[in-house]
Amino acid sequence: NLQIGVLSLQGSVREHISMLSNIKNVKPLEVKSLPSLESVDGIILPGGESTTISKLLIDFGLFEPLKQKIKQGLPVWGTCAGMILLAKDVIDENPHLDLMNITVRRNAYGRQINSFTVVEDIPAISEQRIPLIFIRAPWIENAGKDVEVLCYLDKHIVAAKEKNMLVTSFHPELTNCLAVHQYFIEKMIRVGENKK
């Protein structure tokens, strides 16, 4: 069994937990303390409000430990606000983990009212078409050379990967499509486990 954590300070926590509970041999775990952080094989940083989540990370004493764990190779997937947290550069600076070689623009798609859904092919992730839900979503303006771009929408990057880090502008946890969760678990956690 794999223990997959969901950072549980704010945002779409329950939705990720419920997606994970539909995947075989996976045990979802809410992470809001050091012992729970220590016990996971991979972690999801959910969507929500990135400034709030980063403040709570500091208040709960998890900011540095989480950053170190990811630096040491803990597989991590940031959705939306989670992507903002992982970025090295965020336009209109706010506190973030400063780990992935991307420049992110917050609220790039405008206000809440401009939220939308599209269905896209992302061959790197799945053979099936994937519904993408954007809610006050960020996009990636620039990606460093070690970053693998997984999906463009128009001219902007909305999914990417660098080493043990996966980011998506959109929210697979709000759909009934498990493809991205499965990709994270199979390609970024189980593959790594086999190499150990």
Task: Could you list the residues known to form a binding site, using ranges.
Answer: 48-50, 106, 135-136
Pull the structure tokens for residue 105.
Answer: 């623009």
Interaction with ligand GLN in 156-175: which residues (CB under 6 A)? Answer: none
- In sequence order, what are the beta bridge partners of 2? 26
Nearer to ligand GLN, 3 or 107 (CB): 107
Closest approach of Cβ 48 to ligand GLN, in Å?
5
Q: If binding means CB under 6 A, how many residues of this protein chain bind ligand GLN? A: 11
Give the residue numbers of the binding site for L-glutamine.
Answer: 48-50, 106, 135-136
The residues, ordered by sequence, that sit 6+ positions from 144 with a Cβ below 8 Å of its Cβ are 88, 101, 102, 162
The maximal CA–CA distance of the chain, rounded, in angstroms, is 46
Site string for ligand GLN, 43-82 (x = CB under 6 A): ----xxxx-----------------------------xx-
Is residue 136 part of the contact set for ligand GLN (CB under 6 A)? Answer: yes
Pull the structure tokens for residue 141.
Answer: 């303006």
Mind telling me the catalytic residues?
Answer: 80, 171, 173
Is residue 135 part of the contact set for ligand GLN (CB under 6 A)? Answer: yes
- In sequence order, what are the beta bridge partners of 45? 78
Phi then psi for 93, rounded to 5 degrees?
-20, 130
Pull the structure tokens for residue 72.
Answer: 């040491």
Q: Is the dihedral of CA 50, 56, 59, 63 positive or negative?
A: negative
* Nearest by Cα to 173 from 78, 54, 34: 78
Nearer to ligand GLN, 75 or 138 (CB): 138
Is residue 125 part of the contact set for ligand GLN (CB under 6 A)? Answer: no
Closest approach of Cβ 64 to ligand GLN, in Å?
21
Is residue 30 part of the contact set for ligand GLN (CB under 6 A)? Answer: no
Is residue 20 part of the contact set for ligand GLN (CB under 6 A)? Answer: no
* Nearest by Cα to 159 from 195, 127, 120: 120
Residue 18, CA distances (Å) to 26, 108, 110, 163, 188 in order: 11, 28, 28, 26, 20
Closest approach of Cβ 30 to ligand GLN, in Å?
18
Is residue 107 part of the contact set for ligand GLN (CB under 6 A)? Answer: yes
Give the binding site for ligand GLN (CB under 6 A). Answer: 47-50, 80-81, 84, 106-107, 135-136
